[in-house]
Structure 1
């Protein structure tokens, strides 16, 4: 029955029929991706929150001592970067949660982009 409807639509308006087939194929891909995603849900990942970066030469590194201040490239108030396995997935701001540091996410990449970066 569905094949007859598709054949009829193909005769009446080939562009609509092709678009409908593409949508059906995309929906099938989403279902398959969801099944495949279930296989990796329990894999542990390294999550890092980066305050900033800097460069220094070996002599500067050797001169560091207790109380030394290392200047970072980011300005105060700039968003922190949240990295998963060294890939940027979000940005946020520092917060305190039960006397520990945390991050309130303010910007996050899409779920599909996050999954792509895992590979």
Structure 2
């Protein structure tokens, strides 16, 4: 692209010089115009010759570089990848074992007005959207992961898991 720009620039200079010569030649004569035309022609030829030399030099450099280039060779790592490393699986997961998660079990939900909430007292009954006997929902960090039923063990409530949500079902719930 720079070659085209150089040639365009030289062509413009040539045209401008010819116009000046035409203006000057009206009173001077043709012998002076011929010498100026020859000088411009020589300048033009020198510029084209130098561009040709640059192109030839670049082609030589490119051929030298291409002769030095060779095909890359890589070690076959297939066997290393297939090798069983008994410790690697355990060590790769150790770093996530200490991450805390919020686990919650939900009996059901309801929607109350602030007025209704303020009227609640001890012994009030809040109606939930689920029927008796429906499974509880277990959420981990706000995402449904399982369903289960309430149990009492050593006078404490617990949840017995009856259904683990499959990854496909979890994706459907996101939509």
- Give the shorter-chain TM-score range: 0.5 to 0.7
The alpha-carbon deviation at position 66 of structure 1 amounts to 0.9
Distance change >3 Å, CA 90–CA 34, structure 1 → 2: farther
User: Which residue number corresponds to residue 155 of structure 2?
Assistant: 99
State the superposition RMSD in angstroms.
3.2
Structure holding more strand per residue:
1
Q: Write 1 or 2 for the structure with the bigger share of helix.
A: 2
Secondary structure of 1:59's counterpart equals: helix
Distance in 2 between residues matched to 1:98 and 1:47, nearest whole Å: 21
Q: Which one scores higher on RCO, CA 8 angstroms, separation ≥ 6?
A: 1
| Alpha-carbon separation, structure 2, partners of 1:39 and 1:56 | 43
Which blocks of at least 5 consecutive residues in structure 1 are unaligned?
4-23, 25-31, 115-119
Structure-2 change in CA distance of 1:95 and 1:109 (3 Å): same
More moved, 101-110 vs 67-76: 101-110
1:65 to 112, 115, 121: 121
Q: Which aligned pairs between 1:38-77 and structure 2 lie closer than 5 A?
A: 38-77=94-133
Distance 2:133 2:115 in 1: 30
Q: Which TM-score applies when normalising by structure 2? A: 0.43
Which of 98, 108, 112 is equivalent to 2:164?
A: 108
